[in-house]
Structure 1
Amino acid sequence: MSDLRVETTPIPGLLVVHLPVHGDDRGWFKENWQREKMVALGLPDFGPVQNNMSYNAARGATRGIHTEPWDKFVSVATGKVFAAWVDMREGETFGATYWTEVDESKAIFVPRGVGNSYQALEDGTVYSYLVNDHYVAGRVYPALNLQDETAAIPWPIPLDSAEVEISAKDLANPVLADVEPMAPRKTLITGARGQLGQALASLHPGATLVDLDELDLTDDAALAAWPWEEYGLILNAAAYTAVDKAETAEGRPVAWAANAAAPAALARIAAARGITLVHYSTDYVFDGSEVEGGHREDEGFAPLGVYGQTKAAGDLAVSGAPRHYILRTSWVIGEGHNFVRTMARLAADGVDPAVVDDQVGRLTFTSELARATAHLVASGAPFGTYNVTNSGTPRSWADYARRVFELTGHDPARVGTVTTEEYAAGKDLSPRPLHSTLALDKLASTGFVSTDADEALAAYLAG
């Protein structure tokens, strides 16, 4: 009996699992699938949802080469098979091969897009496979001819032998040169026409871009009809950000639907299908109390208004998805109408604004938020919540307004100041957190180097 171990192969992601088999005169026993132990050894936590069995009555039965859009964990219950795999995914390893004999002491993890085939070496062979998506009849996926000369699989029983039985369908499969590779799972960006959505789209060419008119995240029927099996990453930039309107009878239910119910629905879908979900949060989930070093990711929620309450509820829902990133940010600046553009316009128009000077934080440019998103996903950083803003010295809104005036060639002394209380007098406004600075240590621990907010502001205005 050998120890449980996992072995890599020339096909990326295709793993051989050596299983300890406990035997005596009565037969044998093995732990065919042991999530905790196998994941600890490097097997993906792929979340199987269906278990299938395949019986080959006679030696020589040969199946394949079939490619499916799900992950598989293949093992033998009785008998022995010769198994071969061909990488059918887009990319440099397209056409790579691996083969081995599989009996009760060996299992194979087959990633999505890798073609698999099996030849029974004994009568009465039974093999089992776990998959992480449900089979749907009628769908067609890439397949490869068993005799393809490029793959050159050394079948133990020659395919022209009288012992070999192959289905007519498998005999008609194309050669590798005629196979259309399986594309990787796609990226979905919601809220794609917003400031953040545009920045995310620039770093994810080929992503599916949707707004409310293409996919209503609050519509159960629309979500059920979406082809989620095609997606591996959701970047949820959709949100209700009208902070003051969220306090009204009209805006309150819309805010709850967009900021809480919609992320909860996406979290359920992501959990069920093994999709990575990236969701964007806000400093408004805190009450703005002054915290040395800034608010940390594990600080308890204490929102002051409806907007912050709905965003906190969305965070809690998304945190239930196994593969999630919550990126908490503040004072977002991107393309379109925003604070920086407004100050630049007022400076040019000769208007001397009075700007709040007792709210302190850092600007977050959407390019920085998009860059952090790409970094966390590509680097495989641990799932969880990360604060993401530009770095540097925290400043007040008035400080940033003066800097905008200065960078656009105007006298910063033209910017006056006002307190939050004075600014809100006589207006129906949502309460604002006074201290919005977010600690960036956790993000930095992943290897991400944040761009200084002052430098980013100068580059933004220069552009």
Structure 2
Amino acid sequence: MITQTPIPGLLVVDLTVHGDSRGWFKENWQRQKMTAAGLPDFGPVQNNISFNDAVGTTRGIHAEPWDKYVSVASGRIFGAWVDLREGPTFGVVFTAEIDASKAIFVPRGVGNSYQTLEPGTAYAYLVNDHWSADATYSFLNLADETADIAWPIPLDEAELSEKDRAHPGLDNVTPVPRRKTLVTGADGQLGRALRALHGDQPHIEYADRADLDLTSTRLEDARRWHDYDTIINAAAYTAVDTAETADGRPLAWAVNAAAPAQLARIADDHGITLVHVSSDYVFDGTSERAYREDDPLGPLGVYGQSKAAGDLAVATARRHYIIRTSWVIGDGANFVRTMVSLAARGIHPKVVDDQTGRLAFTADIAAGIRHLLDSAAPYGTYNLTSAGEPSTWADIARDVFRLTGHDPTHITPTSTADYFAAAAGAVAPRPRNSVLDLDKIEATGFIPRDSANALESYLASDL
């Protein structure tokens, strides 16, 4: 049984102890059973045991930047835990006596301490990171008056180290900062929207290609990844036609497939939630209905193939969200801005009318990502575009002309084949149907804006 405590994330675990005349046996940590019961799948990498000869041995209060799962192999302890994480529960205390029948899951940043109540007590703990000199620790004095821990054996009669006696009081403790969020592709349209939504919060880090090379074979060493809680991978190689060339093909695969594969491995190794932005191009566009998240992949060109490979790699991470979107519009070069410019210059363009989909505004994609993370929606793949009736590119062009005060009849519809007939370079195949079914993300409580209303708002903004 798992019991919540007043400290968020600090959990008491009741363990079944099987005993007879020979002694006892227990499953101290059993991943499948315990995660099913509600314990985090925290990925322990090290097992430590602290043996204590005497009653009254007291250790703590230490808050490390990793999760711990503590238990007693022999003897009995009085445990005290203090939330030293920045936030509204900073300073909250929980105490309990622990014997072989109980364990405690201690989340990162919660101060941990104990006092032995029997001789020969063996205190064991699993941790999900290795010690590092670069890690940030916080400590609290065992006798802090604000925490007011009722130690069974008075501290002046207990066995303490001088180092533990010298820890600061709560007023002087540096709170443990929350784990960070990394946004890659921060200079792209979606990256800018994520920055506009989240601002410069200290726990959010933005990286472009100059800051972090996702294609590096040393990506694992590029950050202290255990300090991160979430990676939002908004980086992508999006030069769809250039991806068909000898120079573009390896770049597309490096950024869209190999890099997400590395991020998925890093996410699993460090307990990170990986959010990865995908594309309608993973489908061949032949469906007679809107594409659902579980439809089989069938990419037509190199760009779509590399994105599909990235999706498959990301799906191997235990904590992942794949955000499948289409026809992205935000702060940067895009179809709508091109039409605005053409209309303003009096140019009457030909626009394809045999590709159907919905626009996806980056403000909505960013809001949808935050919703999935904040609501702890089930991990998996989610389609995310604007809502409303699907349109062709020619329909959207006419809407842009009309909304900007120009004659929509100046748009001449044409087929994809005719549009690219005179192209001098490589041309990637495009899916004819890019409409994505939105039922799954709407079931989580996120309702995308209607495409027509979103387009009108976008055009009314300062482009």
TM-score (norm: length of structure 2): 0.97
Task: Trace 1:62-81 onto structure 2 (pairs within 5 A).
Answer: 62-81=58-77
Aligned to 1:25: 21
1:201 aligned to 195, 198, 213, which one? 195
Aligned to 1:283: 280
Matched residues in 1 for 2:147 and 2:354: separation?
A: 68
TM-score (norm: length of structure 1): 0.97
- Cα pair 1:281 1:328 within 8 Å, conserved: yes
- Cα pair 1:216 1:223 within 8 Å, conserved: no
Between stretches 88-97 and 223-232, larger displacement belongs to 223-232
| TM-superposed deviation, 1:139 | 4.4
Q: 1:140 to 1:315 in 2, by over 3 A?
A: closer
Aligned to 1:405: 401
Residue 219 of structure 1: SS of its match in structure 2? coil
Q: 1:309 to 1:197 in 2, by over 3 A?
A: same
Matched residues in 2 for 1:179 and 1:461: separation?
A: 50
Matched residues in 1 for 2:437 and 2:35: separation?
A: 32
Aligned to 2:35: 39
Matched residues in 1 for 2:131 and 2:53: separation?
A: 23
> Are positions 1:303 and 2:299 aligned together?
yes
Matched residues in 2 for 1:169 and 1:140: separation?
A: 17
Aligned to 1:447: 445
Aligned to 1:191: 185
Matched residues in 1 for 2:322 and 2:145: separation?
A: 48
Between stretches 34-43 and 265-274, larger displacement belongs to 34-43
Q: Percent identity?
A: 63
Q: 1:335 to 1:129 in 2, by over 3 A?
A: same
Matched residues in 1 for 2:134 and 2:182: separation?
A: 25
2:5 aligned to 3, 9, 15, which one? 9
1:385 aligned to 377, 381, 385, which one? 381
> Are positions 1:233 and 2:230 aligned together?
yes
> Are positions 1:368 and 2:364 aligned together?
yes
CA offsets per residue over residues 289-327 of structure 1, 9 Å max, x none? 1332x0111111111100001001100110001000000
- Cα pair 2:136 2:176 within 8 Å, conserved: no
Amino acid in the other structure paired with 2:92: A
| TM-superposed deviation, 1:222 | 4.6
- Cα pair 2:65 2:136 within 8 Å, conserved: no
Aligned to 2:95: 99
Amino acid in the other structure paired with 1:45: D
Aligned to 1:146: 142
Task: Trace 1:256-295 onto structure 2 (pairs within 5 A).
Answer: 256-292=253-289, 294-295=290-291
Matched residues in 2 for 1:451 and 1:84: separation?
A: 49
CA offsets per residue over residues 130-159 of structure 1, 9 Å max, x none? 111122257451000000000000000000
1:460 aligned to 454, 458, 461, which one? 458
Between stretches 367-376 and 425-434, larger displacement belongs to 425-434
Matched residues in 1 for 2:27 and 2:247: separation?
A: 57
Structure 2 unaligned regions, length at least 5: none
Structure 1 unaligned regions, length at least 5: none
Task: Trace 1:125-164 onto structure 2 (pairs within 5 A).
Answer: 125-137=121-133, 139-161=135-157, 164=158
> Are positions 1:175 and 2:169 aligned together?
yes
Residue 58 of structure 1: SS of its match in structure 2? coil
Matched residues in 1 for 2:196 and 2:21: separation?
A: 64
Matched residues in 1 for 2:315 and 2:288: separation?
A: 24
| TM-superposed deviation, 1:27 | 1.0
Q: CA RMSD in A?
A: 1.0
Residue 348 of structure 2: SS of its match in structure 1? coil
| TM-superposed deviation, 1:180 | 0.9
Number of equivalent positions:
456
Aligned to 1:118: 114
Matched residues in 2 for 1:140 and 1:328: separation?
A: 36
CA offsets per residue over residues 8-44 of structure 1, 9 Å max, x none? 1111111111112111111111111122222222211
> Are positions 1:395 and 2:391 aligned together?
yes
- Cα pair 2:50 2:123 within 8 Å, conserved: yes
CA offsets per residue over residues 325-369 of structure 1, 9 Å max, x none? 000000000012111011111111111111000000000000010
Matched residues in 1 for 2:26 and 2:169: separation?
A: 38
Residue 156 of structure 2: SS of its match in structure 1? coil
Matched residues in 2 for 1:290 and 1:317: separation?
A: 24
Matched residues in 1 for 2:273 and 2:247: separation?
A: 33
Matched residues in 1 for 2:288 and 2:128: separation?
A: 44
Amino acid in the other structure paired with 1:242: A
CA offsets per residue over residues 200-252 of structure 1, 9 Å max, x none? 12222321111111110111225413121211000001110000000001111
- Cα pair 1:217 1:223 within 8 Å, conserved: no
Matched residues in 1 for 2:370 and 2:392: separation?
A: 29
Between stretches 398-407 and 343-352, larger displacement belongs to 343-352
Matched residues in 1 for 2:87 and 2:136: separation?
A: 21
Q: 1:140 to 1:319 in 2, by over 3 A?
A: closer
> Are positions 1:251 and 2:245 aligned together?
no
